[in-house]
């Protein structure tokens, strides 16, 4: 969800104790406290990203790519949603080209409508791209498809594999609606670890978490 999913347009506090957020009944005060905590943590972690030398960031991307190879195994004929990097996220574009050449169908997320689930559209090297929401490049007019695997960038990740994202809530509202549920792989930097994000009812835990220090967490196996 957004940073403060229960605020009113004028910034006034609601006059009732609970409100329905994306189908979930939540306590307004708790939701506000969690939103404020997450906003502060998000800014802290963004600052750590900005401080990373470019060479270190590139090395982290290569380490995560190696972890993805070990975790996912043979990738031919699979449909994999990745992402276009923003705000210092690990750059997996070389891996996108690699798995495309290996026979995978690569998808990128597209915001068709604000505050609605994402659409995943096919991508291949050299395909026409246009600027989408927040100026993120997206495939222009390619077919939509349902992913079997969704590789999700994380700002932070907690001990229960819940993800702190950029605050828009697009992945959370999307992943709960995909049937059958895809394999969800969260990737990020080692400094992204945090004790808890204080999960809310709409948060979706990652099936697997891969960090740049080589650590791979799979709660389904551990």
Q: What percent of the chain lies above the pLDDT cut of 70? A: 86
**Residues contacting residue 195 through CB under 8 Å, at least 6 positions apart:** 158, 159
Rounded alpha-carbon distances, angstroms, from residue 62 to 19, 189, 197, 203: 44, 12, 27, 28
pLDDT score at 217: 80
Among residues 114, 126, 123, 125, which one has the least CA distance to residue 141?
123
> 188 - beta bridge partners?
211
Between 127 and 16, whose confidence is greater?
127
The rounded mean pLDDT for the chain is: 88
Per-residue confidence band for 12, with pLDDT thresholds at 50, 70 and 90:
very low
pLDDT score at 25: 61
Q: What whole-number distance in Å separates Cα of residue 146 and Cα of residue 148?
A: 7
pLDDT score at 216: 87
Per-residue confidence band for 26, with pLDDT thresholds at 50, 70 and 90:
low
pLDDT in tens, 151-194: 999 999 999 999 999 999 999 999 999 999 999 999 999 999 99
The torsion angles phi and psi of 194, rounded to 5 degrees, stand at -145, 155
pLDDT in tens, 35-66: 999 999 999 999 999 999 999 999 999 999 99
Q: Pseudo-torsion of CA 24, 196, 148, 46, nearest 10°? A: 110
Among residues 57, 214, 85, which one has the least CA distance to residue 153?
85
Per-residue confidence band for 28, with pLDDT thresholds at 50, 70 and 90:
confident
Instruction: Find out whether 219 and 161 touch, Cβ atoms under 8 Å.
Output: yes
pTM: 0.86
Judged against a pLDDT cut of 50, whether residue 1 lies above it is answered with: no
Q: Which residue has the tokens 């991307």?
A: 61
pLDDT in tens, 67-125: 999 999 999 999 999 999 999 999 999 999 999 999 999 999 999 998 899 999 999 99
pLDDT in tens, 205-221: 999 999 999 888 875 54
> b/e per residue, 208-222, with b = 16+ CB within 10 A?
bbbbbeeeebeeeee
3-state SS assignment for residue 14:
coil
Q: What whole-number distance in Å separates Cα of residue 172 and Cα of residue 165?
A: 9
Instruction: Find out whether 56 and 212 touch, Cβ atoms under 8 Å.
Output: no
Which stretches within 118-191 are classed as H helix? 170-175
Q: What whole-number distance in Å separates Cα of residue 209 and Cα of residue 143?
A: 29
Judged against a pLDDT cut of 80, whether residue 21 lies above it is answered with: no
């Amino acid at each position: 969800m957004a940073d403060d999913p229960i605020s009113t347009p004028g910034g006034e506090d609601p006059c009732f104790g609970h409100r329905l957020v994306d189908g979930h009944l939540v306590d307004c005060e708790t939701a506000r406290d969690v939103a404020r905590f997450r906003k502060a943590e998000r800014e802290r972690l963004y600052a750590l990203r900005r401080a990373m030398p470019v060479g270190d960031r590139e090395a982290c991307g290569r380490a995560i790519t190696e972890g993805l190879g070990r975790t996912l195994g043979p990738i031919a004929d699979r449909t994999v949603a990745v992402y276009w990097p923003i705000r210092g996220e690990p750059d997996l574009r070389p891996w996108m080209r690699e798995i495309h050449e290996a026979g995978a169908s690569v998808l990128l997320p597209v915001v068709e409508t604000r505050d609605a689930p994402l659409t995943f559209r096919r991508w291949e090297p050299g395909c026409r791209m246009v600027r989408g929401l927040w100026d993120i490049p997206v495939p222009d007019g390619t077919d939509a498809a349902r992913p079997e695997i969704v590789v999700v960038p994380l700002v932070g990740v907690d001990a229960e594999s819940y993800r702190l994202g950029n605050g828009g809530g697009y992945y959370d509202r999307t992943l709960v609606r995909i049937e059958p549920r895809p394999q969800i792989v969260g990737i990020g930097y080692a400094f992204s670890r945090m004790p808890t994000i204080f999960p809310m009812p709409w948060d979706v835990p990652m099936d697997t978490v891969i960090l740049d220090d080589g650590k791979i967490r799979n709660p389904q196996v551990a």
